[in-house]
Amino acid sequence: MYYEAAIDIQRQIVFVSALLCGFSLAFLIGLVQMNKPGRLMNACLITTGLAASSLLVSTITGVAGIFWLAERPQLVNDTQRIDYPELLAAYRWSLTSLLLGILALFGCLGLVGWLKSRLVGWILMVLSFISVISIFMVVIGRMGLD
């Protein structure tokens, strides 16, 4: 990975993670305010909390990768690949946390429909499942994430 590509990728991961983290927190607050007891509500709260926390981890590790790159301006003119373990660890942690947060967010979106009715629950569950499968096919299959 080259310097410019590395910093652009980290910036995009941080932006998407922070945006989805804010959405997850707003969704979590809305669920808490519904004040509906039950196992289904607890499952929605847990998956939304997992999404928010993993997206926050993704944001923080992505920022750490950006800081690491910013502290090394000599790498700007370097034409060789950047193979530092610190940068690769920040990149992998931020991307893995982002994918876990997206998975948890779709899990909650699939569960929250059941709070309304069976029909809405089935529709949202199927849509969430299709979305998760298509996202992971693109990310893992096409991008070669290992």
Average pLDDT, the chain: 85
Domain boundaries, the chain: 3-143
Contacts of 112-118 with CB under 8 Å at 24 or more apart are 112/31, 112/44, 114/40, 115/34, 115/36, 115/40, 115/41, 115/44
Written as tens digits, the pLDDT of the chain (146 aa) is 667 777 788 888 899 999 999 999 999 999 999 888 889 999 999 999 999 999 999 999 988 888 887 787 776 666 666 677 777 787 888 888 998 999 999 999 999 988 888 999 999 999 999 998 888 788 777 655 54
Q: Is 49 left (phi over 0), alpha (psi -120 to 50) or beta?
A: alpha
> pLDDT tens digits, residue range 110-143?
999 888 889 999 999 999 999 988 887 887 776 5
- Looking at residue 129, its pLDDT comes to 93
